[in-house]
């Protein structure tokens, strides 16, 4: 069974106003203090981190907090850990007068504050306003692979299916106090990085490495960590890292994205071993598919990954399940995936939930308050 790990980025929110607050350093200090004082409580019985390891990390902006789960085989155990770390993040933030929300962009206006540190400061100097405006929260999924060659073969084959993860996770309709008219405006902001987005087919690990080396050697990027492909070989772990999803409002949606990501990797690996070539869609078409998913997500048509022609979202998602059926059955995740997709189609992803809340309340602050509650729901 392939293992899956999740990295989630959360917004640090003022409990009274709902505005993002640049408190990541204070929250991380509080988390470290609590870990030192209560190592057994902070470690969680089912985790296998070493005591010195921390789940929480700083991100680019002071208004963000990131956590990473352990690699998991069971989606139930992954769900438990996501819920626990969200609760711990809220508790640590509460100690400094804030809370957390799983929102991929801030509904209220915000002036992002870039964190200190040589890496973040270099990015701000190099990319200017693009760096300053990147207060967006994503969900990155790591799926284990046996080798770089297998990983690159997977990356080549999952390209046309990744926009569907954008559609399912879309959770960023508002930007600086206004409706962006997108379901995942985070995707649009993230796409401003010159090294972000879909890739051409690599064909081999050697060609992948040549491309990455060339990007870094160009001097535009600081290091390999800034190669922001939609899916890439992790530079830290033996995994394929899929980076397209918004942070999901509900933990159950995070688990859905993780289950689909693992099934995509497994299915692609089987195709590679069977000698089936990847679909030859151009990066231009893949960008259009990603844009379509970002724009309307589940509320309109999507581009079908096999034909790159518009089709109803329900039909396209059924094609996704059909494509992954064998892998989902083997992992025991088919029922979970079907139920979660049906629930999103009926009740909406985070973007639809946020817009419905605004329609009912007329207040973006009320939207944020409800999203804070849902972030911490079990």
Q: Is residue 112 part of a domain?
A: yes
Give a yes or no: residue 2 inside a domain. Answer: no
> What's residue 50's pLDDT?
37
Q: State residue 44's pLDDT score.
A: 44
DSSP letter string over 318-348?
HHHHHHHHHHHHHHT-HHHHHHHHHHHHHH-
With respect to residue 295, please indicate whether it lies within any of the assigned structural domains: yes
30, 72, 37: which is closest to 51 by C-alpha?
Answer: 37
- pLDDT recorded at residue 49: 37
Q: Decide if 257 is inside a domain.
A: yes
Give the residue numbers spanning the domain of 115.
7-375
CA nearest to 158, candidates 238, 256, 232: 232
The pLDDT, as a whole number, for residue 345 is 96
Query: Smallest Cα–Cα separation from 134: which of 67, 193, 197?
Result: 193
Tally of domains in the chain: 1
pLDDT along the chain (378 residues), means of 10: 97 94 94 72 41 72 96 97 96 95 98 93 95 96 98 98 98 98 98 96 98 96 95 95 98 98 98 97 98 97 97 98 98 98 96 98 97 90
Q: What contacts 257, CB < 8 A, 6 or more positions away? A: 139, 141, 165, 168, 169, 245, 248
Q: Which residue has the tokens 């598919």?
A: 289
371, part of any domain: yes
d(CA 26, CA 4): 30
Residue 19 lies in a domain: yes
* 375 closest CA partner among 10, 6, 5: 10
The predicted pLDDT at position 32 comes to 86
Query: 156: closest CA among 197, 196, 199?
Result: 199
Q: Residue 227 belongs to a domain with what CATH number?
A: 3.30.590.20
H helical segments located in 115-229: 118-127, 129-132, 148-158, 162-169, 185-190, 205-217
Q: Residue 219: exposed, middle, or buried by beta-carbon count in 10 A (0-12, 13-18, 19+)?
A: exposed
pLDDT for the residue numbered 377: 84
Does the residue 334 lie in any domain?
Answer: yes
- At residue 45, the pLDDT reads 38
Does the predicted TM-score (pTM) go above 0.85?
yes
Q: What is the pLDDT of residue 33?
A: 79
Count of other CB atoms within 10 angstroms of residue 161 = 24
Is 145 within the bounds of a domain? yes
């Amino acid at each position: 069974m392939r293992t899956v790990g999740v990295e989630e980025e959360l917004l640090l929110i003022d409990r009274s106003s709902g505005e993002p607050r640049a408190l990541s350093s204070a929250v991380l200090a509080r988390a470290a203090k609590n870990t030192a004082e209560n190592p057994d409580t902070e470690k969680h019985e089912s985790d296998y981190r070493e005591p010195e390891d921390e789940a929480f990390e700083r991100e680019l902006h002071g208004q963000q907090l990131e956590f990473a789960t352990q690699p998991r085989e069971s989606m139930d155990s992954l769900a438990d850990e996501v819920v626990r770390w969200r609760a711990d993040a809220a508790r640590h933030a509460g100690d400094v007068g804030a809370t957390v929300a799983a929102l991929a962009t801030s509904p209220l206006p915000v002036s992002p504050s870039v964190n200190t540190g040589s890496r973040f400061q270099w990015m701000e100097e190099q990319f200017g306003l693009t760096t300053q405006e990147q207060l967006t929260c994503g969900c990155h999924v790591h799926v284990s692979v046996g080798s770089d060659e297998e990983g690159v073969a997977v990356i080549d084959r999952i390209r046309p299916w990744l926009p569907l993860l954008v559609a399912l996770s879309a959770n960023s309709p508002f930007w600086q106090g206004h409706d962006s008219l997108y379901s995942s405006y985070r995707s649009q902001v993230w796409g401003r990085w010159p090294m972000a987005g879909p890739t051409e087919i690599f064909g081999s690990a050697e060609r992948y490495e040549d491309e990455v080396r060339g990007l870094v050697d160009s001097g535009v990027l600081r290091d390999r960590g800034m190669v922001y492909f939609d899916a890439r070989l992790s530079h830290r772990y033996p995994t394929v890292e899929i980076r397209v999803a918004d942070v999901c409002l509900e933990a159950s949606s995070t688990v859905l994205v993780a289950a689909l990501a693992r099934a995509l990797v497994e299915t692609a690996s089987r195709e590679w071993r069977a000698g089936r070539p990847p679909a030859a869609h151009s990066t231009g078409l893949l960008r259009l598919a990603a844009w379509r998913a970002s724009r309307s997500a589940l509320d309109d048509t999507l581009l079908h990954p096999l034909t790159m022609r518009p089709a109803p979202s329900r039909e396209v998602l059924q094609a996704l399940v059909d494509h992954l059926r064998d892998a989902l059955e083997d992992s025991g995740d088919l029922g979970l995936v079907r139920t979660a997709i049906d629930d999103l189609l009926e009740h909406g992803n985070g973007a639809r939930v946020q817009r419905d809340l605004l329609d009912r309340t007329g207040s973006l602050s009320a939207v944020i308050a409800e999203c804070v509650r849902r972030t911490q729901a079990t």
